Structure 1
Amino acid sequence: MDWDKLRIFHAVADAGSLTHAGDTLHLSQSAVSRQIRALEESLGTTLFHRHARGLILTEQGELLFDATRAMNKRLDAAAARIRDSEEEVYGELRVTTATGFGTLWLAPRLEKLYDKYPELKIDLMLEERVLDLPMREADVAIRMKEPSQADLIRKRLMNIRMRLFATPEYLNKFGEPQRLEDLSTHRLICQNPNAPQVSAGAKLIETLNDYDIRSKLYVNNYFGVLQAVLNHLGIGVLPDYLTESSSSLVRVLPEIESGEVPVFLAYPEELRHSKRIQVFRDFIVEEISAHRRQMRDEEEASH
């Protein structure tokens, strides 16, 4: 099968348009169209339905597009490995993690990594959806549960817990609850228990909802929950990594917390020898160790 025709097919399928694909490939629309027709003839099938709004893949086209997409991701992975130098670290590293962790824990620490490797380009993808690492949707992930996908190298980084927090201003205005039953007169800020999230957090929210809390604010990530809490809207369910070093928050009902939530770093087996992965992994491990030392020193100083 002609690799060049497959490359052109992939661009057309991705763009849904001969014109847009031609712009990307620096080819005329007629040249792209000829290549697609030649590919269809060689395969003995129709790859696109053509209509006024553009091109739609046929069932056979979808099968071929799945194959070319997988090929592209494999080629990207191979190119990344080839670019990795034994002495230098540069190029793109695509990191995926949850919005709260990426925004409030990871991003503020990246300056240290860039100081050591200024030519590193990090694409930080913050979303609650779990990206497919073996299919190269990202190079490395930090997740609040152990990855279930095969062919991944995984490292347990730390454990976190979900706890209750509020601002002193909110507690001065509405009073501090002394027992779970007192939450009924407060506003609870949390993720929807039916939304995708760590199971330990969902279980804690289900427990709190048993106490007839009349006012609630649901946010679909912990960064949003934190912003609502910092603006004195209520008592929030937040992971401890967001709040351990924050003097603007007060822990409420300190005996109440979720079970442990493991935090894992994971990346595909094929990137085992990637220098970019290695330096990022070592950086994260060192930052967590430094954070633990700081928290331990602060705890000892307070006693």
Structure 2
Amino acid sequence: MNWDDVRLFLEIARAGTLTSAARQLRLSQPTAGRRLRALEEAVGSALFQRTASGFLLTDEGEAMLMHAEHMSEEANVLERKLAGGARGLEGGVRISASDWVSSKVLAAPLGSLAAEHPGLTIELVADSRMLDLQRRETDLAFRFSRFSGADIVQRRLVTINYGLYVSQSYLELRGDPTGSETGAGHQMITMNSALERQPDVTWLRGRWADAGLAFRSNSRESQAAACVAGAGVAVLPRVIGGGLGLVELGGDVPPSRELWLGYHEDLRRLRRLRVLIEHLTEQLPSEI
């Protein structure tokens, strides 16, 4: 039985579709389909029921899933142990962070490190998904909350400060919102509904309960673009809002947030990872 085919089986079981599993493993959909058929022929049973809503495990698939997950965990442990034993700086480090953290906080210091060490390859994945450190979907992750799991090594990297921004055209049209108690007559730019419990969204709504909602997005840079266009008042990281010619409003300050880094403890001895973290710590101030 081919381990790569077992990995494909696991990804389909987790994602529920062949397309998503193929994308995760960087396969074409026809290739993934051929490999799944080959695996089912090898075990002599259909592992999934194909339905309009996705792939559902058959009884045989359910029986195989437990053993496949055990194989996957053993393979992940071996991969982390081998990677953690590497002594040199040559090789790759895969990093995941949100889009704006990648571009505004990490890219410049990581680029300078890559310039110093030509044998080091840094892969920065700008993705808001929580990539799995145990499955080594990423070697190093950056998040705005502490990591769960006793086998994750973590530390606070930097405090991100936020400001309250509007465009000059907005001020000319609607006036300064800081003079309003309720925000009536003003418009807000916030995160989308999936992220509406983030501290800045709660803070902004609490400050101006009667303000209208002009624009929502899960992208900070899209929010910033809407703010520049005059759509409304936005809470933005200062590393974004401070460079766009926007007006930062005075008065109460939005809450800051802590950016944490984390990696699996099996990679603790990986020298290139240690050097990378030390470099970021030296290059970044404690607050930005």
Alpha-carbon deviations, 1:5-54, whole Å to 9, x = none?
2515415525769x836977xxxx87x666434xxxxxxxx572477999
Q: Is the 8 A contact 2:40 2:46 kept in 1?
A: no
**Structure 1 counterpart of 2:247:** 250
Q: Is the 8 A contact 1:8 1:21 kept in 2?
A: no
Alpha-carbon deviations, 1:276-297, whole Å to 9, x = none?
21122112212213x86xx8xx
Superposition CA RMSD, Å? 3.5
**Structure 2 counterpart of 1:124:** 124
Q: How many pairs are equivalent?
A: 269
Q: Is the 8 A contact 1:198 1:261 kept in 2?
A: no
Task: Select the residue among 260, 273, 281 that pairs with 1:277.
Answer: 273
**Structure 2 counterpart of 1:43:** none
Corresponding position: 1:165 with 2:172: no
Q: Is the 8 A contact 2:165 2:235 kept in 1?
A: yes
**Structure 2 counterpart of 1:224:** 222
Mapping 1:1-303, distance limit 5 Å: 5=1, 7=3, 9-11=5-7, 13=9, 14=11, 20=31, 35-37=42-44, 46=45, 48-49=47-48, 57=57, 58-82=61-85, 84-86=86-88, 89-181=89-181, 183-192=183-192, 194-196=193-195, 199-210=198-209, 212-244=210-242, 246=243, 248-252=245-249, 254-289=250-285
Distance 1:176 1:77, change over 3 A: same
Distance 1:96 1:176, change over 3 A: same
TM-score by length of 2: 0.77
Unaligned runs of 5+ in 1: 38-45, 296-303
Distance 1:203 1:8, change over 3 A: closer
Q: Is the 8 A contact 1:184 1:213 kept in 2?
A: yes
Distance 1:269 1:34, change over 3 A: same
Shift of 1:107: 2.4
Q: Is the 8 A contact 2:140 2:261 kept in 1?
A: yes
Alpha-carbon deviations, 1:244-274, whole Å to 9, x = none?
4x2612211x222233322211111111111
1:236 & 1:287 partners in 2: Cα distance? 28
Distance 1:204 1:12, change over 3 A: closer
Q: Is the 8 A contact 1:163 1:256 kept in 2?
A: no
TM-score by length of 1: 0.73
1:258 & 1:6 partners in 2: Cα distance? 53
Distance 1:61 1:106, change over 3 A: same
Distance 1:235 1:159, change over 3 A: same
Q: Per the alignment, in what secondary structure is the counterpart of residue 129 of structure 1?
A: coil
